[in-house]
Structure 1
Amino acid sequence: MPGQFEAIPGGGAAVALDEVEISIIRSLAVQLLELIGPGPAEDAPDDPLAELFAEGPSEPPTDPVLQRLLPDAYGGPGSEEGATDADELRAYSSEFRRFTENDLRAKKREDALVVIRSLDALTSKGEGGAVLKLSADESRHWLGALNDLRLAIGARLEVTDEEDTDLLYQLPDSDARKPMVMAYLWLGGLQETLVATLIG
């Protein structure tokens, strides 16, 4: 079980994590929350319906990580079918983003919070390392958060395809990106074994 998720009864998953691994995942999840930002109505607590009806931004984010986490719905290779020009694609993307980005950000916040809370519950028992046991629902949130963390790190490492990933294995230990690469690859292994438990 060390370093990989395994299925447990009830449709959940378990993984053994040491103190350093817990600290790394928690820190990354907190950074992800900070990057995604607060909900659109968190400044208006007197109006409980504000978030429900709040429209999101219509322009894509400028941060490359947020661009990867919150991509345009239209555009990119092979997406020109049915669209007359780039302006039309931008208009479609803008409209789609306006009505979906807030929900997407909320989902990503929820996933990251489940990760943080489950790790906090694990460490509150005073154990240095422990076996993290997740319900089926928690496992799905973890899967979403692991995917987001890998996308975020991959964006910082400028990973765009499998060839870029292969090049990461060849980086010398002296390269300043090496710790980020190790986290990227490790999270990928966790994600892969968690997927296997959920579909197995």
Structure 2
Amino acid sequence: MPGLFERTPDGGAALTLDPVEISILRSLSVQLLELVGPGTEPSDDPFAELFAEGPSAPPSDPVLRRLFPDAYGGPGDRETQELKEAAAEFRRYTENDLRAKKREDALAVVHALDALPTASDGSGRLHVQGPAAQTWLRTLNDLRLALSTRLDITAEDDTDALYRLPDSDPRKPMVMAYLWLGGLQETLVETLLP
């Protein structure tokens, strides 16, 4: 099946992408970079960076709330002032680092796609292993979370209904990307299992 990861003899994973697939993955990764934000300017003082405080309130964008959920409480939990304060405190000291890691991962995916040696038909063969494979897994997961939030997928039934969308539905391309990313993520996990 084209466009899915396969195990390689060296324990890594390989994927052949056509020009459209490269373009989609690159575009989605760049959009993720833009959504997560540009980050902060590096400081000359590494200790100041280490103890820099981040935001304490959850992001207003639903995708960012999904990518950076509150650490305390969850669906069905009664939201108490104590939980709100604990979540705000945790977010203040972790969100900047989480954002930086997501930016680093998405940028690595973009760079890998840009560096792909391409065949005469424009296709490219990607090979990942070790830390690079983990980077790809994290970015594929973030992309799927972003798309599932935009598609309002909250339960398995929601996904089933999306399969039946007519081709004329404007969500259809996003649904196809979501399903394809799921296949990429699943096959990458399978190739990396011992």
Taking only the aligned residue pairs, the percentage that are identical comes to: 66
Runs (4+) off by over 6 Å: 124-127
Q: What are the residue-to-residue correspondences of 1:49-88 with 2, within 5 Å?
A: 49-77=47-75, 79=77, 86-88=80-82
Structure 2: distance between partners of 1:123 and 1:30: 20
Aligned partners of 1:4 and 1:16 also within 8 Å: yes
Q: What are the residue-to-residue correspondences of 1:51-130 with 2, within 5 Å?
A: 51-77=49-75, 79=77, 86-122=80-116, 128-130=122-124
* Per-residue deviation, residues 131-154 of structure 1 (Å, max 9, x unmatched): 111122111100000000000011
Q: Give unmatched runs, 5+ long, in structure 1.
A: none
| 1:184 pairs with 2:182 | no
> What's the secondary structure of 1:93's corresponding residue?
helix
Worse-matched range after superposition: 61-70 or 47-56: 47-56
Q: TM-score of the superposition, structure 2-length normalised? A: 0.92
Q: What are the residue-to-residue correspondences of 1:1-200 with 2, within 5 Å?
A: 2-40=2-40, 42=41, 45-77=43-75, 79=77, 86-122=80-116, 128-200=122-194
Structure 1: distance between partners of 2:142 and 2:166: 26
Q: 1:177 Cα deviation (Å)?
A: 0.5
Q: TM-score of the superposition, structure 1-length normalised? A: 0.90
Structure 1: distance between partners of 2:76 and 2:115: 45
> What's the secondary structure of 2:115's corresponding residue?
helix
Instruction: Indicate how the Cα distance of structure 1 residues 92 and 9 shifts in structure 2: closer, same or farther if over 3 A, else same.
Output: same
